[in-house]
Amino acid sequence: MMNQLSDRINNLATSATLAMAAKARELRAEGKDIIGLSLGEPDFNTPDFIKEAAIEAINQNYNSYTPVDGYVELKEAIITKFKRDNNLNYSLPQIVVSTGAKQALANVAAVMINPGDEVILPCPYWVSYSDIVKLSDGVPVEVQTSIDNDFKMTAEQLEAAITPKTKMIWYSSPCNPSGSVYSKEELRTLADVLKKHPHIYVVSDEIYEHINFKGGHFSMAEFDDMYDRTVTVNGVSKAFAMTGWRIGYIGAPDWIARACNKMQGQITSGANCIAQRAVITALEADPSRIKYMVDEFKERRKLILDLLSEIEGFKTNEPEGAFYVFPNVSSYFGKTIKGKTINNASDFSLFLLEEALVATVTGEAFGNPDCIRISYAASQDNIKEAIKRIKSALS
Ligand SMILES: Cc1ncc(COP(=O)(O)O)c(C=O)c1O
CATH number of the domain encompassing residue 13: 3.90.1150.10
> What distance in angstroms lies between residue 311's CA and the mean position of ligand 1's atoms?
30
> Is residue 267 domain-shared with residue 310, that is, in the same domain?
no
Do 203 and 223 lie in a common domain? yes
- From 244, 267, 286, the end of a domain falls on 286
| Dihedral of alpha carbons 120, 268, 260, 250, sign | negative
Q: Say whether both 12 and 64 belong to one domain.
A: no
Q: Across the chain, which distance is largest between two alpha carbons, in Å?
A: 62
Cβ of 172 less than 6 Å from ligand 1: yes
Q: Do 87 and 137 belong to one domain?
A: yes
pLDDT tens digits, one per residue of 222-259: 999 999 999 999 999 999 999 999 999 999 999 999 99
Give me the pLDDT at residue 40, please: 87
109 and 169 housed in the same domain:
yes
CA-wise closest residue to 234 among 97, 44, 61, 388: 97
Ligand 1 site, residue 41, Cβ cutoff 6 A: no
Identify whether residues 99 and 140 lie together within a single domain.
yes
88 falls in which pLDDT band (50, 70, 90)? very high
Rounded distance from Cα 236 to ligand 1 centre (Å): 9
CB-side exposure of 137: number of CA atoms within 13 Å? 7
Residues found in the chain: 395
- Residues 6 or more apart whose Cβ sits within 8 Å of residue 300: 323, 376, 378, 380, 383
Are 91 and 162 contained in the same domain?
A: yes
Please tell me whether residues 259 and 318 are part of one structural domain. Answer: no
153 & 224 share domain:
yes
62 and 32 share a domain?
no
The predicted model gives 92-115 an average pLDDT of 98
CATH number (domain holding residue 131): 3.40.640.10
**Whether the CB of 40 sits within 6 Å of ligand 1:** yes
Q: What is the pTM of this model?
A: 0.96
Q: Find the 229 Cα to ligand 1 centroid distance in Å.
A: 21
pLDDT, one tens digit per residue, over 265-313 is: 999 999 999 999 999 999 999 999 999 999 999 999 999 999 999 999 9
My answer on whether 232 and 185 are in the same domain is yes
The pairing of beta strand 118-123 with beta strand 358-359 = unpaired
Pocket lining: 177 vs ligand 1, CB cutoff 6 Å: no
Q: Report DSSP letters for 29-78, one per residue.
A: HTT---EE-------SPPPHHHHHHHHHHHHTT--SPPPTT--HHHHHHH
Distance in angstroms (rounded) separating the CA atoms of residues 133 and 141: 10
Q: Which of these three, 286, 308, 336, is where a domain ends?
A: 286
Does the beta carbon of 206 lie inside 6 Å of ligand 1?
A: no
Query: How far away, in angstroms, is 129 Cα from ligand 1 center?
Result: 10
Residues 329 and 255 in one domain: no
Q: Please check whether residue 109 is in contact with residue 163, taking contact to mean a CB–CB distance below 8 angstroms.
A: no
The backbone region for 316, taken as left when phi is positive above 0, alpha when psi lies in -120 to 50, beta otherwise, is beta
Number of domains observed in the structure of the chain: 2
39 CA distance to ligand 1 middle (Å)? 11
95, 261 in Cβ contact below 8 A? no
Is residue 86 scored above 90 in pLDDT? yes
Last residue of a domain, one of 286, 305, 340: 286
Tell me if 243 CB under 6 Å of ligand 1.
yes
Residue 92 is part of which domain span? 48-286
